[in-house]
Every structure is written in C-alpha cells, then in structure tokens.
Amino acid sequence: MKRLVAISTFLWLSLFGLNVQAGQFHDAREKILAVRTSMIDLLMNKENRQPAQWKAADEKSADARKALAGLKAPSGKEAPFNDFKSVMTAFLDTRDKELREALVSGNEAEAKRLLTVVQKERFGKITELSDMLDK
C-alpha cells in the first residue's frame, strides 16, 4: 500500500510538472508580492500600523532589495533584465518613500492610489518580465 501511494505521488508530481525550484526571477517576484501584501494590509487595517508590523514590512522590502541585488541577466536577455531591475527598483523606492509616508501621515487616498494604480501596474510588469526571464 505504501508503495502504491509513493508511486501515485510520483506520477502526480511528474504529470503536473511541479517545479520544486523556481527561477531566480520568480523568487524575486515572490518577495515583491510579500512587500505588496504587507502594504495592502497596513492600508486596510489601521490597527496593524504598529511598530512590529512596520518593522516586518520594512524587512520584506529589504529582503526584496537583497534579492534584486543578487540577480544576474540571463544570456541574451539583457534588455528585459534591465527593465525588470528598473521596475522593481521603482516599486521598492515608491514603497519605501511615498507609500510609507502616505500611510504614516494618514493620507489614505494617496496610499490607496499608489497601491491600486501605480504599484499594481508595476507588479503586473514585474510578473510579466519575471516569467519571460525565467524561461
């Protein structure tokens, strides 16, 4: 019975192509998603705007910056790589400066605009480019 379960599991993973190791750009995108999610949480839940939550959000941003610094351009994909770095840097700079300041100062409208328009568009571009670069 154990052997049957093991074989079934192996076949299932093989058939569905479970990718155990994602590419470096997918990993960076996941870090950006964590940054975005933490800022949405801070926008939506004012009671979460405590020092511990800010510290956690700041650490996520620092992790994303470290991931960005460690990326290397795939051969022949220098232009999309440069675009990826540029958009990711703009995303993090906006988060660390404008978005954080808007939330700290209580400017909910500006924070919402940044998150739902500017950062949403950038995250979409990051997703598109990460998919292209990891292929």
Residue 23, amino acid: G
pLDDT score recorded for residue 38? 95
Q: Is the CATH number of domain 22-134 3.10.450?
A: no
With a threshold of 0.75, does the pTM exceed it? yes
Boundaries of every domain in the chain: 22-134
DSSP string, 28-89: HHHHHHHHHHHHHHHHH-GGG-SHHHHHHHHHHHHHHHHHHHT--PPTT-HHHHHHHHHHHH
- pLDDT values of the chain reduced to their tens digit, one per residue, 135 residues: 444 434 444 434 444 433 433 599 999 999 999 999 999 999 999 998 999 999 999 999 999 999 999 999 999 999 999 999 999 999 999 999 999 999 999 999 999 999 999 999 999 999 999 999 998
pLDDT, position 4:
40
| pLDDT for 22 | 59
Contact 48, 103 (CB under 8 A): no
What confidence score (pLDDT) does residue 135 get? 87
